Chain A
């Protein structure tokens, strides 16, 4: 009984009421209010038909991609504590993670495998959308946002490639930037811009690091918000 009394008193405090604006009573109105008054939940529809939760509608591929994005963000931030985008420290720090940092190898492997998986799931997600015809009006705008997100995923993967600063990284970026150079008219200038010079050196490493850790994740986050918002606005799964 005391517990219930205590709960009543806590819930009645101004602090509690300033955070939670409504009671937790299972009514339609309260359910709607829960969603409306929460910045994270309000991207979600208030009501979802049970039919549209069937796994084979979406295979949950978009959700998995987003979950991997979150995992990458968390492990990525932790890796940033140990990594310096400089020569030769970048490679050394990789070795420190492997041999000395507690669970460093786990951290790095999680980031790496999650990155590979995210690219895979984003592709599968796109394929699913394509084959189920989910790009058709009114969802054509969200298809375009999705394509942009696919490109961002690939760019994130590509910029992360250089950071270990080993032979594989160096030559992969050599090949990649040479491909960029082959683009008509702007190619050479674009390569110069990307590398911050004519060769892959410390400038390129810093640029790729900033793109990988700041610019591209922020852009992806913004586009993800738009993407989810549109999913909600365009409505759930309707039978064809």
Chain B
């Protein structure tokens, strides 16, 4: 009996000990340790006259039911909102400057992790059964995209770059991506391709497009040789209905062609071996690519062959076109191909029999070429790849990692998928875009932003959605014919190569504009870039100028600052004094061939620009050109008026050098 009593007594004691563990553990909880450390830290800071308050030992949290947030991160990260703790050791450091109210939106909306937890491991989410660990800092901008959907966020450069890449690489050809309107087709139509390109070029292009054109958006579809040959045969069978007569290059016309090629500033858009513009394809090896008869009809009317092209229609006479084609044929040949290779390929290409063409068509469809290209005989194809809605919060357990030994988390999976699309298993179809590591990381950020998290409407940024520009009528036709928006922008749309045209009617004088269309020249002493000579008809010039002066205006500035006779001489003289002595404009601008090289020359400014605009520009140069280098001197009204008086009275340059 005594033995049993002793046993009972001992086991009761043991039980009591077990129960005592819990309050002790509670007392020694991690967060209490951190708060005590913070209080010591705060007292020390306080002695140094830095206002840091101690905290009572208690669990702190940010609670926001609308965002479904209970974040106890601030239990240990006690200095997040104290700007005096920017250099404090973690976990007490203050949050970097942000426009968001941390006390309202909490932490996990952006950083992810487990907000409810009060332990380091638990809160940072690195637990086996917690599906949503903290985002590494390199992917953090993904969270910006949850509340700023489908727009460029200037503060989130990586996210914006990723979204831009999604748009430009044509991801929407195969994937449905929320917030990105499908741009289709991103590649050229393939009808008539057989009349355009040479077989060897096509075969090599299909094998590896980047080998011919480094910055093409076409991915490597990873074809075996036989597949590439089959597809070549199929695509070559797509002939244009009216093929021109065989073109014979005219050696005598090469010089004229070169002259016309230079005059038209083709190099502004087309590089030669990497040097030149990037709006159009590099023409360095184009001689090995296209058939000359096709090139001839292309130069005559690009839109007839490819309606979506961004190339303006130049109104060259037929003679000049033949000269330009001869010049291109002689200058831009491809040294990596020769006739022997072409014959070898011709021998190996499968014949264009019905079976082969059907097999080629099948291959074309299986590869999803229709995601980027259109071909009349093949009806629009549905998305090939999975819908990417919610990809940013996909459970790791639902990802197929194949046999790969990489970190088991969403971002490393996405990164690997983008870099090596077919590595996770067989029968995967995604082509290899050969993105750089940096691009891939940007894309991962953009994809991670497509999360399932429900954000209430009041937190979602409406963004500055640009109003789509609708230019109709004659001016709209001209705008599209000459593809003005390839280089210029209008209401925030398109090109960045040339000045914005939104308020051009208030800036430049109609007579000058008309003359400029007939003979464009470069504004700046050090630049040879200029608008190409488009060969617009008088009728077109008149329509364009009339549109500029009636529609593209800024109502807040008057055309003319001075009465009809122009500024008084006295005022202009004071302006000259200000120009040279007070503001030192000659450091960047030239007058009569004397002065700096950064800004445009100012001779004859009065014939080019309205004085009202010059005045408004001097008052705030960045108002109309946000990126302009000219400093804002905060010039007062009377000085600005005097400077304007001086500038508009400058005579035109004495002799215009012919370029």
Chain B associates with chain A = yes
Where the two chains meet, the residues of A that have a C-beta atom closer than 8 Å to any C-beta of B are 92, 95-96, 98-100, 102-103, 105-106, 166-167
Whether A99 and B26, one on each chain, are in contact in the complex, defined by CB atoms closer than 8 angstroms, is no
Q: Which residues of A contact B116 (CB under 8 A)?
A: 92, 95-96, 99-100
CA distance in complex: A136, B64 (Å): 64
Give chain B's interface residue range (CB within 8 Å of chain A): 10 to 19
Q: State the Cβ distance, A210 to closest chain B Cβ, in Å.
A: 26
Instruction: Name the segment of B117-125, B203-211, B272-280 touching the other chain.
Output: B117-125
Q: Which residues of A contact B26 (CB under 8 A)?
A: 102-103
> Looking at chain B's contact residues, is the secondary structure mostly helix, strand, loop, or mixed?
loop
Q: Is B552's CB within 8 Å of the partner chain A?
A: no
Q: State the Cβ distance, B255 to closest chain A Cβ, in Å.
A: 76
Query: In the complex, which residue of chain A has the Cβ closest to the Cβ of B116?
Result: A95
Q: Which residues of A contact B22 (CB under 8 A)?
A: 103, 105-106
Q: Which residues of A contact B59 (CB under 8 A)?
A: 100
Query: In the complex, which residue of chain A has the Cβ closest to the Cβ of B70?
Result: A92
Would you list 21 pairs from A and B whose C-beta atoms are within 8 A, ordered by A residue?
A92-B70, A92-B116, A95-B114, A95-B116, A95-B117, A96-B116, A98-B117, A99-B72, A99-B117, A99-B118, A99-B122, A100-B116, A100-B118, A102-B26, A103-B22, A103-B26, A105-B22, A106-B19, A106-B22, A166-B129, A167-B129
Q: Is B99's CB within 8 Å of the partner chain A?
A: no
CA distance in complex: A197, B634 (Å): 72
Query: In the complex, which residue of chain A has the Cβ closest to the Cβ of B117?
Result: A99
CA distance in complex: A115, B260 (Å): 91
Query: In the complex, which residue of chain B has the Cβ closest to the Cβ of A55?
Result: B4
CA distance in complex: A92, B117 (Å): 11
Q: Which residues of B contact A103 (CB under 8 A)?
A: 22-23, 26
Query: In the complex, which residue of chain B has the Cβ closest to the Cβ of A106?
Result: B22
CA distance in complex: A99, B118 (Å): 6
CB under 8 Å from chain A, chain B span 26-75: 26, 59, 70, 72
Q: Which residues of B contact A99 (CB under 8 A)?
A: 72, 116-119, 122
CA distance in complex: A167, B128 (Å): 13
CA distance in complex: A96, B116 (Å): 7
CA distance in complex: A102, B118 (Å): 13
CA distance in complex: A106, B18 (Å): 10
Q: State the Cβ distance, A233 to closest chain B Cβ, in Å.
A: 28
CA distance in complex: A140, B59 (Å): 57
Where the two chains meet, the residues of B that have a C-beta atom closer than 8 Å to any C-beta of A are 19, 22-23, 26, 59, 70, 72, 114, 116-119, 122, 129
Query: In the complex, which residue of chain A has the Cβ closest to the Cβ of B118?
Result: A99
Q: State the Cβ distance, B114 to closest chain A Cβ, in Å.
A: 8
Q: State the Cβ distance, B535 to closest chain A Cβ, in Å.
A: 67
Q: Which residues of A contact B119 (CB under 8 A)?
A: 99
Q: Which residues of B contact A105 (CB under 8 A)?
A: 22
CA distance in complex: A105, B119 (Å): 13
Q: Which residues of B contact A106 (CB under 8 A)?
A: 19, 22
CA distance in complex: A103, B72 (Å): 18
Q: Which residues of B contact A98 (CB under 8 A)?
A: 117
CA distance in complex: A167, B70 (Å): 21
Q: Which residues of A contact B129 (CB under 8 A)?
A: 166-167
Q: State the Cβ distance, B69 to closest chain A Cβ, in Å.
A: 12
Q: Which residues of B contact A167 (CB under 8 A)?
A: 129
Q: Which residues of A contact B23 (CB under 8 A)?
A: 103
Apart from the given pairs A98-B117, A106-B19, 18 other A-B contacts in the complex at a CB distance below 8 Å: A92-B116, A95-B114, A95-B116, A95-B117, A99-B72, A99-B117, A99-B118, A99-B119, A99-B122, A100-B59, A100-B116, A100-B118, A102-B26, A103-B22, A103-B23, A103-B26, A105-B22, A166-B129
Which 8 A/B pairs are nearest by Cβ-Cβ distance? A106-B22, A95-B116, A99-B118, A103-B22, A99-B117, A99-B116, A102-B26, A100-B59
CA distance in complex: A167, B19 (Å): 30
Most-contacted residue by chain A among B26, B119, B122 (CB, 10 A): B26
CA distance in complex: A102, B32 (Å): 13
Q: Which residues of A contact B70 (CB under 8 A)?
A: 92
CA distance in complex: A96, B114 (Å): 12
CA distance in complex: A15, B114 (Å): 58
CA distance in complex: A27, B119 (Å): 61
Q: State the Cβ distance, A85 to closest chain B Cβ, in Å.
A: 19
Q: Which residues of B contact A96 (CB under 8 A)?
A: 116
Q: Which residues of B contact A102 (CB under 8 A)?
A: 26
CA distance in complex: A167, B396 (Å): 14
Q: Which residues of A contact B19 (CB under 8 A)?
A: 106
Q: State the Cβ distance, B207 to closest chain A Cβ, in Å.
A: 46
Q: Which residues of B contact A166 (CB under 8 A)?
A: 129
Q: Which residues of A contact B114 (CB under 8 A)?
A: 95
Q: State the Cβ distance, A87 to closest chain B Cβ, in Å.
A: 12
CA distance in complex: A99, B115 (Å): 11
CA distance in complex: A100, B114 (Å): 13
Q: Which residues of A contact B72 (CB under 8 A)?
A: 99-100
CA distance in complex: A92, B116 (Å): 8
Q: State the Cβ distance, B74 to closest chain A Cβ, in Å.
A: 14
Query: In the complex, which residue of chain A has the Cβ closest to the Cβ of B68?
Result: A88
Q: State the Cβ distance, B258 to closest chain A Cβ, in Å.
A: 71
Q: Which residues of A contact B117 (CB under 8 A)?
A: 95, 98-99
CA distance in complex: A167, B116 (Å): 18
CA distance in complex: A121, B26 (Å): 31
Q: Which residues of A contact B118 (CB under 8 A)?
A: 99-100
Most-contacted residue by chain B among A99, A100, A167 (CB, 10 A): A99
CA distance in complex: A98, B114 (Å): 13
Q: State the Cβ distance, B152 to closest chain A Cβ, in Å.
A: 34
Q: State the Cβ distance, B539 to closest chain A Cβ, in Å.
A: 68
CA distance in complex: A106, B26 (Å): 10
Q: State the Cβ distance, B393 to closest chain A Cβ, in Å.
A: 15
CA distance in complex: A36, B304 (Å): 109
Query: In the complex, which residue of chain A has the Cβ closest to the Cβ of B23?
Result: A103
Query: In the complex, which residue of chain A has the Cβ closest to the Cβ of B395?
Result: A167
Query: In the complex, which residue of chain B has the Cβ closest to the Cβ of A166?
Result: B129
CA distance in complex: A100, B70 (Å): 12
CA distance in complex: A146, B116 (Å): 43
CA distance in complex: A105, B26 (Å): 10
CA distance in complex: A201, B343 (Å): 69
Q: State the Cβ distance, A54 to closest chain B Cβ, in Å.
A: 12
Q: State the Cβ distance, B566 to closest chain A Cβ, in Å.
A: 75
Q: State the Cβ distance, A78 to closest chain B Cβ, in Å.
A: 13
Q: State the Cβ distance, A44 to closest chain B Cβ, in Å.
A: 19
CA distance in complex: A102, B59 (Å): 12
CA distance in complex: A60, B22 (Å): 29
Q: State the Cβ distance, B198 to closest chain A Cβ, in Å.
A: 58
Query: In the complex, which residue of chain B has the Cβ closest to the Cβ of A95?
Result: B116
CA distance in complex: A98, B59 (Å): 14
CA distance in complex: A184, B119 (Å): 50
CA distance in complex: A234, B10 (Å): 35
Q: State the Cβ distance, A117 to closest chain B Cβ, in Å.
A: 14
CA distance in complex: A127, B174 (Å): 63
Query: In the complex, which residue of chain B has the Cβ closest to the Cβ of A105?
Result: B22
CA distance in complex: A103, B26 (Å): 7
Query: In the complex, which residue of chain A has the Cβ closest to the Cβ of B31?
Result: A99
CA distance in complex: A105, B19 (Å): 12
Q: Which residues of A contact B122 (CB under 8 A)?
A: 99
Q: State the Cβ distance, B412 to closest chain A Cβ, in Å.
A: 22
Q: State the Cβ distance, A114 to closest chain B Cβ, in Å.
A: 13
Query: In the complex, which residue of chain B has the Cβ closest to the Cβ of A92?
Result: B116
Query: In the complex, which residue of chain B has the Cβ closest to the Cβ of A102?
Result: B26
CA distance in complex: A177, B59 (Å): 40
CA distance in complex: A95, B132 (Å): 15
CA distance in complex: A99, B61 (Å): 12
